[in-house]
Amino acid sequence: MAQIQVTDLTFSYDGNADDIFKDTTFSIDSDWKLGLIGRNGKGKTTLLNLFMGKYEYRGSIKTSTYFDCFPYQISDSDLKKTAAELIEKWKPQIEFWQVLIQMNELKMEPECLYRPFETLSFGERTRVMLAVLFAAENEFLLIDEPTNHLDTEARDIVKEYLASKKGFILVSHDRDLLDKVCDHVLVLNRASIEVQAGNFSTWWENKEKKDAFQQAENEKHLKEIGKLKAAADRSGRWADKNENSKIGFDPVKEHDRNIATRAFIGAKTKKMQARVKSYEQRIDREISEKEGLLNDIERVTDLKIEPLEFHKEILVNVNDLSLQYEGVDRELFHGLTFQVKRGQRIILSGENGCGKSTILKAILRKQNPNGFGDDSQIIVSGTLNVASGMKISYVNQDTSFLKGSLRKYCENNGLNESLLLAVLRQLDLGREQFVKNMEDFSEGQKKKVLIAASLITPAHLYIWDEPLNFIDVFSRMQIEKLILQYKPTMLLVEHDIRFQEKVATEIIGL
């Protein structure tokens, strides 16, 4: 067991005026199973890279332990190599048998180590890397979003495996994973950093109570400040009126006054002015106590969507469907039957590579053969009917095509730029991002661009392919609330268990 002490950490990227971290201080234990929570763009991955010594920074990070980080970097040439060959590059100090032990815990056959890395599924790649990562001892491990692109079965295996380990930081937006795995959380708030014992749900419950208390305290201070300002204004006007009456008087109307009264009026005015000064000091004290109360509160704005009402009840009809790719003998699946009816929210579930995304592509191609759904390699057998005249809004799981400015993106896709930027602000994308090219965005920020574009596109059917990959937990809850409020007709591929439980009207297993 060792302490990792971060003191006065300050860091910003070259050319960026804003600090990612400024005078940040916290301490963590190397035996903890630590969940790292924060909004997209708050610096979670940056913090891991700082631990790994990839950037220069001000302040200090002191520890007696060594760090290693998931995922390992894979070059194009590495994809042709086997995992057995890559172990020497990733972690040269370990023995092969140590990896095999971890592979067994991750329910993987050793033969995966001898296949070219490019032939492994996302789930297999993740588990091989985790096996190598945990093969050594006396290291504090940094794990960055290990469940993105993983199917439900692979997520469960990774979840069970990490729950049996200790001594790591886990960056994840999967609430179920954070709850099952972590015993502490490190939270990058809007204006502070906090370390707390417990899992995500424990922290979220405490946060909601803390936010409610701070809101109440803020309201109390505002009311007190209002009362004090009114009293100060009233006393100030009385003091001014008395001060003006010190010199000169009408002996007929003010027969009870004489020249000696001036001293009495002056003393009374001075007393009132002292009372005004006391009010002002109390106002300053109330304002000082109020400052910072709301700095860390997550102001989650309600999103809006304008789904169109289609005149037919059945939008998509699938009966005894089989799909496969040209040149591949094996079918992805066969005999699939389901319908997408008006108002339903259907989630497709199944292993990686079973054809979930291919179904979405086939529907898009059917609806618009020359548009974004075109994929001529798909061979369709059985019935796949898509209602004619129906408008579809699509979120692709791939964000690599997002390049250039947001303005150009809007021009190319016929989107209202002002409306897109407004929705991105509601999804907590900072205004400073609006002047950047999208290739400089984080993966979560890129995904928010696709979601925002879909939300401002009126449609009869919303087809979203793994929309929550890299999306922070606050935005996930924001999107859940939107869907439950407006009830758009949707067909989705999404592996987030909490999201499935809340929004799905039906789950189709492939």
Identify each DSSP E strand in 54-211 by its residue range: 58-62, 66-70, 139-144, 168-171, 184-188, 193-197
* Residue 27 and residue 195 in contact, taking contact as beta carbons nearer than 8 Å: yes
Residue with token string 């054809």: 355
Most confident of 167-181, 234-248, 295-309: 167-181
- Is the pLDDT at 478 greater than 70, yes or no? yes
- Is the pLDDT at 383 greater than 90, yes or no? yes
Name the residue among 422, 60, 35, 305 with its Cα closest to residue 196: 35
Provide the pLDDT for residue 294. 64
Q: What is the pLDDT of residues 231-243, one digit of tens each?
A: 777 777 776 676 6
The rounded percent of the chain whose pLDDT value lies above 70 is: 89
Provide the pLDDT for residue 205. 93
CA torsion sign, 375 to 380 to 384 to 385? positive
The rounded percent of the chain whose pLDDT value lies above 90 is: 62
Provide the pLDDT for residue 374. 47
Fold that domain 314-509 belongs to in CATH = Rossmann fold (3.40.50)
Domain 3-190 is found in CATH 2.60.40.420: no
Task: Band the pLDDT of 253: cuts 50, 70, 90.
Answer: low
Q: What is the pLDDT of residues 335-377, one digit of tens each?
A: 999 999 999 999 999 888 788 989 999 999 888 776 654 455 7
Instruction: Output helix, strand, coil percentages for the chain, rounded to the nearest 5.
Output: 40, 20, 35
* Residue 141 and residue 68 in contact, taking contact as beta carbons nearer than 8 Å: yes
- The mean per-residue pLDDT over the stretch 84-105 comes to 94
CA distance 322 to 384: 10
Which tokens sit at 232?
């100060």
Helix (H) or strand (E) holding 224: helix 200-244
Q: Which residues pair with 507 in a beta bridge?
A: 347
Name the residue among 503, 414, 403 with its Cα closest to residue 462: 503
- The mean per-residue pLDDT over the stretch 190-197 comes to 90
Rg, Å, the chain Cα set: 31
Which tokens sit at 411?
């021009």
Provide the pLDDT for residue 351. 83
